[in-house]
Amino acid sequence: MLNEKLQDYIDSLIQPRQGILAEMEEYAEINGVPIMEPAGIETMLQLLRLQQPDAILEVGTAIGYSALRMAFALPATKIVTLERDEERFNLAVDYIKRSGLQRQIVQIKGDALELEPEVSEYAPFDAIFIDAAKGQYRRFFEIYSRVLKPGGLIITDNVLFKGHVYDNHVIESKRIRSLVKKIDEFNRWLSSHPEYDTIILPIGDGVAVSKKR
Ligand SMILES: C[S@@+](CC[C@H](N)C(=O)[O-])C[C@H]1O[C@@H](n2cnc3c(N)ncnc32)[C@H](O)[C@@H]1O
């Protein structure tokens, strides 16, 4: 998003993670697990530190990396996180157990489009982090904005989708073209949503920050 030299400079100032987080980053890199990019996650954590939420809902746990980053940054915050992929869910169980933060993080397995009843037991939330199937962003947003407190934040990752949403280049893959269209429609819908004030930050893969009025 930012020019490459500027992005490299900012990334070079981000302190390397240690211990289990470094191990998870290595696992994600080797196994192609798409965890949030460094500048994106640092930005989100800083917003959350300012907000000091009591409870956060995360849609898309993967192996538990961002859930653990949030838990370490906000020791008094409860985190509820949703994942449908069994293998990733189980890896996240192991990592979270090893971190000793299993009482702070509630993992729910299943399709986030169908988990509203289970999630409601932990509602309301002060912040929601949407980082799951990009084609479903609007549905995740609509379902879970019901359990967000007034004044709460919804942070959505990957809304600039590697630049595809604003670059006019030809995209060969029909699947990618359709995803780009969906993300662009989501961004337009979100930016004009009457109940939210939204800004898209050109950080990481593009991070939308929406505040409920
Ligand atoms: C980008 S990864 C999440 C990365 C994680 N937030 C991090 O930064 O460490 C997206 C995850 O969402 C999961 N996912 C996608 N659609 C989902 C759905 N409808 N319900 C639950 N999980 C979903 C995928 O299986 C994948 O593991």
What pLDDT score was predicted for residue 198? 98
Q: Which atom of ligand 1 is least distant from the CA of 136?
A: 19
Is pLDDT above 90 for 72?
yes
Which of 65-69, 84-88, 164-168, 205-209 has the lowest average pLDDT? Answer: 164-168
Integer angstrom CA distances of residue 157 from 35, 109, 192: 10, 21, 18
* φ, ψ for residue 135, nearest 5 deg: -70, -15
Indicate the pTM of the whole model: 0.97
Average pLDDT over residues 139-167: 96
For residue 69 and ligand 1, the question of a CB distance below 6 A is answered with no
Give the contacts of 78 (CB within 8 A, at least 6 positions apart): 54, 55, 56, 104, 106, 122
Number of H helices, E strands in the chain: 8, 7
> How far is it, in rounded angstroms, from Cα 207 to Cα 7?
15
The 10 Å CB-count burial string (b at 16+, else e) for 131-153 is bbbbebbeebbebbbebbeeebb
Measure 63 CA to ligand 1 centroid, in angstroms.
9
Average pLDDT over residues 51-66: 98
Measure 1 CA to ligand 1 centroid, in angstroms.
22
pLDDT band at 56 (very low <50, low <70, confident <90, very high): very high
Measure 179 CA to ligand 1 centroid, in angstroms.
16
Measure 33 CA to ligand 1 centroid, in angstroms.
10
Average pLDDT, the chain: 96
pLDDT, one tens digit per residue, over 88-137 is 999 999 999 999 999 999 999 999 999 999 999 999 999 999 999 999 99
> How far is it, in rounded angstroms, from Cα 26 to Cα 200?
28
What pLDDT score was predicted for residue 145? 98
Give the contacts of 47 (CB within 8 A, at least 6 positions apart): 153, 155, 209
Best residue among 58, 84, 119, 162 to mutate for probing ligand 1's pocket (most ligand atoms within 8 Å of CB) is 84
> How far is it, in rounded angstroms, from Cα 1 to Cα 201?
9
Cis ω before 124 (30° cut-off from 0):
yes
Average pLDDT over residues 12-37: 97
Residue (of 151, 157, 134) closest to 37 by Cα position: 157
Measure 51 CA to ligand 1 centroid, in angstroms.
24
Is pLDDT above 80 for 21?
yes
Is pLDDT above 70 for 2?
no
For residue 62 and ligand 1, the question of a CB distance below 6 A is answered with yes
Best residue among 58, 83, 161 to mutate for probing ligand 1's pocket (most ligand atoms within 8 Å of CB) is 83
Average pLDDT over residues 47-55: 98
